[in-house]
Amino acid sequence: MAEDILYKPHMMFEHGLQKQYHEGAEKYFDNLVTKTKTDVELNRLHVKEYKKAAEELATARKKLSGERGWMTFFIVFTFLLSIVGFILFILGIRATSTPLIVAGVITFVLGLSCIFGWVHFHKASKAVEATIAPLKQKADMALQVCYGDMAPLNADFDWNMPSRIMESATPLIDLDEYFSSSTLAYLVDKFNFPIGEKDDTSVLGVISGHIQGNPFVLEKVRNVSVHNKAYIGSITITWTTVEGTGKDRRTVTHTQTLTATTYHPAPFYHDDTRLIYANEAAPHLHFSRSPSNAHKLDEHERRKAVEKGAKELAKKAQKAVANGGTYMTMGNDEFEVFFGGSDRDNEVEFRLLFTPLAQKNELELLEDPTPFGDDFYMVKDGMINSVASAHSQGFDYNVDPSYFEGYDVDEMRTRFVAYCDAYIKGLYYDLAPLLSIPLYQLHKSTEYIYKDILPGNYTSYEQEAMANGIEQDAFIPKEADPSLPLILKADKVTRIGATDDVLIKSYSYKTTPMIDYVSKMGNDGRMHTIPVHWIQYDLRTKQTPMVLKQVKSSRKDYREILKNGGFNNLYPSGAFAHFERGLITFVDKAKDNQALQNIDNQLSSIFSK
């Protein structure tokens, strides 16, 4: 709807939406408090009592530390003065020096007298130590009372809460419960979205949604690449030479550190978060842009950067014309320099997207240091747009709801709202470069029923993300080093009813310590052998069957069913299982379709009660 269009997304966030999101998070938390009948005032009283008990315990522990410090002081001085006194006494006897003998006796007696100080503080420390256990018990009991107050609220925290808050404040942005097969099929069939089949990536988390029916996906992916790693070894050699003659003749010892470097293949892991957005507008256009750091420049520096960049772009345009290219400047040097996109291949469609309003919107994002400034890469590949920002790389958009649990309702409220603020701000500003283009928002997709072209009920993105939520021990290949990250790939999928039986293929490496011996000439004129320790990485794989199904239940209900043994026939004590966003998955060894059908029926029965 026209009233939902964010014509100026940065300004609207700063002057309205940010406050709406924040107040929405506060209201959501307060509604949870009301729903779970949490007594806020009673909890505040109990928290106050706990903090008082914890402070008393901390004070007692600090006092005990002080008493023990004095004990150490006196025992050290007893030892030192006694030794010094004894030495002075012996020296005095040997030298028949009365002053030394007297000094020795006095020092020795002073040393022994320190024992009385040690005894005093030992008794004092014992007295204080006797109070620690009762104080700790009192604090622990007070803390348990606080957790008891919060038990209903802690149990009610669930997945997707920040996304619900975001949706309620911005109806234009529609977030999904999970990344469905129909959405992925739509992306593949209509927009030529590439499905990653590489064995060197694994999806750790995924969020999907739509803007006016145009789908987007925020994915966090673990990547592994194998290339040479430098290993360095060293030894220190020594030798002597004779220098000088006659009386000046002397032996000189020399040292030298010899180093050697060898290279061997090793896996390197890194996680990437990026947002992918599909839109039919400007379908033949391709370009890329990278951060310009415009937000770090003052007005004078910005003007100089534009002047210099405009000259370079003018030369590029002249060269393009001479070589039969299509690149032409748009007349807005500031936009051209800071936004970039000079590698574009369709001038008409580029101008169609980046109208004067779109240019102004993009510049507001790039030049304002709040909240993130120009920290994003953007690539348009036909109908597929991708945005990768620095602020999203280190943020967990799929945080476990247990993160919000606690014993202090006020502290929990602060933490919940702060996370929701960060979640919404981060996701919004990944979308902002796209929302800044009015044509993208005005282009409303008319297709909401998509072809069923995928083998499973759920996407490989969700299958891998859910697998990564299970304890990794379930997937570690034989002989693989458990300290290395796993790359989990959804392989073969069998669809039985609403359940997917997914074969998860895991990749890791066996590590074997190795040594290279490198010969190198030293300054002593001799060859030396330098050992270089390195690690040999041998690929190991494993295939593990896993069941995945949407049960449309809550985290609270899942934990209650688990506690009451509702899954005993499927898997013991929740071992190698994971629940998230209404999806349940667990490692299973079913051999045939009938066994899988039974699992599908059992899950339906368990969650229908």
**Per-residue pLDDT, 374:** 94
Same domain, 210 and 151: no
Instruction: Quote the pLDDT of residue 351.
Output: 94
Confidence tier at 574 by pLDDT (50, 70, 90): low
What residues are paired with 131 via a beta bridge? none
- Strand, helix or coil at 17? helix
Q: How far is the C-alpha of 490 from the C-alpha of 471, rounded, in Å?
A: 16
Q: Indicate if 315 and 428 belong to the same structural domain.
A: yes
Question: Which two structure tokens, joined as six digits, stand for 363?
Answer: 């510049």
| Six-digit token string for 229 | 């790693």
Reported as a pLDDT band with limits 50, 70 and 90, residue 1 is very low
The answer to whether 505 and 489 are in contact (CB under 8 A) is: yes
Written as one string, the DSSP assignment of 132-179 is HHHHHHHHHHHHHHHHHHHHHHHHH--TTHHHHHHHHH-TTEEE-SS-
Q: Is residue 560 part of a domain?
A: yes
* Rounded Cα gap, residues 46 and 548, in angstroms: 42
Instruction: For residues 230-248, give the mean pLDDT.
Output: 89
Rg from Cα positions in the chain:
35
Number of domains in the chain: 3
376 forms bridges with which residues in the sheet?
Answer: 389
Contacts of 318 (CB under 8 A, 6+ apart): none
Dump pLDDT digits (tens) for 180-205.
888 888 888 888 887 756 778 999 99
Please indicate whether residue 169 or residue 526 has the higher confidence score (pLDDT). Answer: 526
Same domain, 299 and 406: yes
Domain-ending residue, one of 442, 471, 502: 442
Assigned domain for 303 exists: yes
Does residue 352 sit in helix, strand or coil? Answer: helix
User: 471 and 597: one domain?
Assistant: yes
* Residue 533 and residue 561 share a domain: yes
Q: Find the range with the poorest average confidence among 39-43, 229-233, 318-322, 350-354.
A: 318-322
Q: Which of 168, 196, 264 is nearest to 514 (CA)?
A: 264
pLDDT tens sequence across 584-600:
898 886 666 777 788 88
d(CA 275, CA 434): 10
d(CA 389, CA 427): 10
CA-CA distance, 221 to 526, in Å (whole number)? 52
255 domain-assigned? no
Q: What pLDDT, on the 0 to 100 scale, is given for residue 400?
A: 92
Q: What is the pLDDT of residues 293-316, one digit of tens each?
A: 999 999 999 999 998 988 888 888
**Which pLDDT belongs to residue 327?**
76
Judgement on whether residues 521 and 492 belong to the same structural domain of the protein: yes
CB 265 within 8 A of CB 536: no
Structure tokens at 427: 């996701």
**What distance in Å separates the CA atoms of residue 292 and residue 273, rounded to the nearest whole number?**
20
Question: 446 versus 517: which is more confidently predicted?
Answer: 517
- Residue 266's pLDDT band, with cuts at 50, 70 and 90, is very high
Q: Any idea which of 322-331, 348-357, 458-467 has the lowest mean pLDDT? A: 322-331
- Alpha-carbon dihedral 239, 243, 248, 251, rounded to 10 degrees: 10
* pLDDT for 252: 87
pLDDT of 128 > 80? The answer is no
Upstream peptide bond of 371 is cis (omega within 30 degrees of 0): yes
Domain residue limits at 92: 40-156
- The whole-number pLDDT of residue 413 equals 96
Quick check: is 50 in a domain?
yes
Q: Are residues 475 and 391 in the same domain?
A: no
Residue 62: predicted pLDDT: 77
Please state, rounded to an integer, the average pLDDT across all residues of the chain. 87
pLDDT in tens, 376-412: 999 999 999 999 999 999 899 999 999 999 999 999 9
What pLDDT does 526 receive? 92
Interval 506-537: pLDDT, tens: 999 999 999 999 999 999 889 999 999 999 99
The answer as to whether 241 is a domain residue is: no
Query: What is the Cα–Cα distance from 358 to 7, expressed in whole angstroms?
Result: 9
Average pLDDT over residues 345-354: 93
State the average pLDDT over residues 36-59: 90
| Count helices and strands in the chain by DSSP H and E runs | 16, 12
Does residue 211 sit in the same domain as residue 126? no
- Closest by CA to 536, choosing from 516, 551, 553, is 516
Question: Tokens 């000094």 — which residue?
Answer: 103
pLDDT grade, residue 28 (50/70/90)? Answer: very high
| Confidence (pLDDT) at 573 | 56
Last residue of a domain, one of 156, 182, 198: 156
Query: Are residues 509 and 537 in contact, defined by beta-carbon separation less than 8 angstroms?
Result: yes
Report the pLDDT value the prediction gives residue 453, as an integer from 0 to 100. 55
Give residue 74's pLDDT: 67
- Write the DSSP symbol of residue 374: S
Of 407, 442, 477, the residue that ends a domain is: 442
Q: Map tokens 């408090």 to a residue.
A: 33
Dihedral over Cα of 349, 355, 358, 362: its sign: positive
pLDDT score at 118 = 67
- Assess if residue 3 is contained within a domain: no
Residue 362 belongs to a domain: yes
Note whether 199 and 133 are same-domain residues: no
Hey, what are 227's tokens?
Answer: 């290339």
Do 524 and 584 reside in the same domain of the chain?
Answer: yes
8 Å CB contact between 153 and 412: yes
Is the pLDDT assigned to residue 325 strictly greater than 50? yes
Integer Cα distance of 505 and 503 in angstroms: 6
In a domain? residue 261: no
Residue with token string 């996906």: 217
For residues 498 and 597, membership in a common domain is answered with yes
**Phi-psi map region of 382: left, alpha, beta (phi>0 left; psi -120 to 50 alpha):** left
Average of per-residue pLDDT across 536-564: 90
Query: How far is Cα 426 from Cα 473, in angstroms, rounded to an integer?
Result: 32
Say whether both 479 and 430 belong to one domain.
no
Write the DSSP assignment of 276-293 as a string of letters.
EEE--SSTT-EEEE----
d(CA 324, CA 376): 31
